[in-house]
Amino acid sequence: MTIKLLIITVLSTTLSISDQRTTQDSIRAVLDSQSAHERLATLVDLCNHGISDREGAQRTLNYSREGKQLARKLGQTKDLYWIQIEEASAIGLIHSRQQSIDSLNQIIPKIRKVRDNRLLIHALIITGVQMTKLDQMTSAREPLLEAVALAVSVHDSSSLAKAYNNLGNVSNHLGLNQEAIDFYLNALTIKEAMGTKNLSTTYNNVAQIFKNMGNYEEAIRFNQKAMLQQQASGNTFGLSISHLNLGNIFSKQKKYDSALFHNERALSLSQSIADTVGFAFAYYNLASVYFSLDDYPRSLDYYEKALPIFSASGMRTNVAQSQVSISINSRLMGDFDKAKTTLDQANTIAAELNSFVLKKSIAESYYELYKATGDYRQALNYHEEFKANADSILNATQVQEISSLQKNYEIANRDNRIAVLDKENEITALNLARQNTFRNGLLAALALFSHLSTRTMESLSLQKTSGTKARNSKRRTRKTQCCQK
């Protein structure tokens, strides 16, 4: 991308709507002044955007159609696929995650045919991200693990760090804390080795896992490291996340004043950049703190503020969690009808997502609700369901652990087989060398024997010839003597 176009593009994300139109006109002027191949390169650059960059995603959609048409006209297949990947990512961010996944599933087989690992890695990572956003955690692992293997094979450190970071997100959602921390720390190590300056997102992720593991001091330390970078770079969005994380940590430590401070600060920062999803998480966290303080009316108010935002954003797990929390507050405030209605709604989502974690939480809430209303038979039924879902979570965790052990065993077994093969090759080479030495010695001995035999035969033949000549000479002499007499 030219310097002029880069400046124009950056300005387009910060100016007013009327000024942005002027900027778009300027971009068009730059594009119109370029040759076809230069224009395609610029359009590819314009279509690139970050995974959470909504403005960049909209820019991608503004220019992707023109870019695809030009790539087809010029026969630039790889540029075409790159634009299609970015377009699918933008569709997922702005319109539909499922539509994004469907598009990527159509593109990936075509990319495999052109054998471009850079394109394939990019498409696999974007696919994994979109699946994660739809709570398809188990499905997301497959493309991300393939991306890791490919990135390792071609020494693509940047993509490897992205894949590890997203695998960490998946493991985090699945409650596999140790696996998540391993993936995040792998990503962090690679980024630090590459000299990446902004590591705040990874620091936040690591902090989140340490919080889940109950290591609050480490969680606070990594959050503070993230905040230093976010403040220095003016990253308001990231800073709001760090405040949310600190609010959660202090809430776990029962330091509710500090928890309220950081969550209110997160809400203020989210409002300053119109980050509506940020509002929802801040509302949800504030509701949780007030619930811990037994202030159920205020807690209910914040949960009900968070719910429609989660719903509009398609965040179904968060919707169900908010509904469960609303049900609990309603029950504790004596509104049993509302408690059951919202719990039924959450139960529908949990069934569709097949989330044992949600099902366990919902069964527990049904148990408490029916116990409060005196329907002990129903309460007992849901208590049994609660235990069944708890067992399912345990079994799923054990299966994951067994799978991890099996994977580690297979890796170790593979390494052992390689070592054995190396040793066998070494022994074979040594035996072959010995055989060659013996064979060469034998050939030399045979050659020497053949040479000596030849010389001996020649000597014997010579002696025989000499003897014959001597006898013939004597005969001639005697014959001559006889004739002379």
| pLDDT at res. 395 | 59
pLDDT of residue 37: 96
Tokens of 78: 């790889």
What is the rounded (10 degree) CA torsion for 359, 364, 370, 373? -130
pLDDT at 375: 95
pLDDT band at 322 (very low <50, low <70, confident <90, very high): very high
Q: What is the pLDDT of residue 285?
A: 98
User: Looking at residue 386, what is its pLDDT?
Assistant: 87
pLDDT for the residue numbered 294? 97
pLDDT class of 71 with cuts at 50, 70, 90: very high
Kindly give the residue spans of alpha helices, DSSP state H, lying in 115-235: 117-133, 137-153, 157-173, 177-194, 200-212, 216-233
Residue 34 gets which letter from DSSP? S
**Which residue, 79, 170, 71, 189, is CA-closest to 125?**
170
Rounded Cα distance, 292 and 294, in Å: 5
Residue type, 395: N
Backbone angles phi, psi at 81, to 5 degrees: -65, -40
* 410 confidence band (pLDDT: 50, 70, 90): very low
Cβ(216)–Cβ(252) under 8 Å?
yes
Q: Cβ of 471: how many Cβ atoms within 10 Å?
A: 10
Assess whether pLDDT exceeds 60 at residue 399: no
Residue with tokens 């366990």: 360
Contact 215, 224 (CB under 8 A): no
Q: What is the pLDDT of residue 169?
A: 93
Residue 134: pLDDT band (50, 70, 90) is: confident
pLDDT given at position 485: 42
CA distance 202 to 226: 8
* Residues whose CB falls within 8 Å of the CB of residue 2, separated by 6 or more in sequence, listed in order: 30, 42
* CB-CB contact of 227 with 236 (8 Å): no
Mean per-residue pLDDT for 63-79?
97
- pLDDT tens sequence across 6-38: 544 544 544 455 566 777 888 999 999 999 999
pLDDT confidence band for 49 (50 / 70 / 90): confident
Stronger pLDDT, 5 or 141, i.e. the higher one: 141
Give whichever of 5-9, 311-315, 437-441 has the largest mean pLDDT.
311-315
Q: What are phi and psi for residue 2, nearest 5 degrees?
A: -70, 155
pLDDT at position 226 over 90? yes
Provide the pLDDT for residue 478. Answer: 47
Stretch 435-453: mean pLDDT:
47
Q: What is the pLDDT of residue 218?
A: 95
pLDDT of residue 357: 87
Q: Sorting pLDDT into bands at 50, 70 and 90, what band is 432?
A: very low
State how far Cα 132 lies from the chain centre.
Answer: 10
Q: Round to whole Å and give the CA distance between 164 and 152.
A: 11
Q: What's 50's DSSP letter?
A: -
Long-range contacts of the stretch 161-165 (C-beta < 8 A, 24+): 161/186, 161/187, 161/190, 161/191, 161/194, 161/196, 162/125, 162/187, 163/121, 163/124, 163/125, 163/128, 164/190, 165/201, 165/202, 165/205
User: Range with the lowest mean pLDDT among 153-162, 276-285, 307-316, 421-430?
Assistant: 421-430
The pLDDT assigned to 207 comes to: 94
Specify the pLDDT at position 355: 87
Q: What are 269's two structure tokens?
A: 């920062």
- Tell me the mean pLDDT in the region 456-485: 49
Q: Give the per-residue pLDDT at 175.
A: 85
**C-beta contacts of 70-79 below 8 A and 24+ residues apart:** 70/36, 70/39, 70/40, 70/43, 71/40, 73/36, 74/36, 74/37, 74/40, 76/40, 77/114, 78/114, 78/116, 78/119, 79/40, 79/41, 79/44
**At residue 462, does pLDDT exceed 60?**
no
The answer to whether residues 92 and 62 touch, using CB atoms and an 8 Å cutoff, is no
Query: What is the mean pLDDT of the segment spanning 221-230?
Result: 96
| Range from 29-33, 327-331, 430-434 carrying the lowest mean pLDDT | 430-434
Percent of the chain with pLDDT over 90: 66
- CATH number of 315-398: 1.25.40.10, 3.40.50.1360, 1.10.3720.10, 3.40.50.11540? 1.25.40.10
Q: Is the pLDDT of residue 105 over 80?
A: yes
Range of weakest confidence among 9-23, 255-269, 304-318: 9-23
Averaged pLDDT score across all residues of the chain: 83
Q: What dihedral angle (degrees, nearest 10) is formed by the CA atoms of 173, 264, 235, 276?
A: 70
Q: For residues 216 and 253, is the Cβ–Cβ distance under 8 A?
A: yes
| Dihedral sign (CA 235, 241, 247, 252) | negative
pLDDT band at 3 (very low <50, low <70, confident <90, very high): very low
Boundaries of every domain in the chain? 1-13+22-79, 315-398
Q: Report which secondary-structure segment, H or E, holds 457.
A: helix 376-484
Tokens of 482: 């006889």
**For residues 54-65, average pLDDT:** 92
User: Is residue 5 pLDDT above 60, yes or no?
Assistant: no
pLDDT computed for residue 53 by the predictor: 77
When pLDDT is cut at 50, 70 and 90, the band that residue 173 belongs to is: confident
| Residue-level pLDDT at 394 | 59
**How would residue 390 be classed by pLDDT, with cut points 50, 70 and 90?**
confident
Length reported for the chain: 485
Task: Name the token pair of 211.
Answer: 């919080």
Q: What is the pLDDT of residue 438?
A: 44
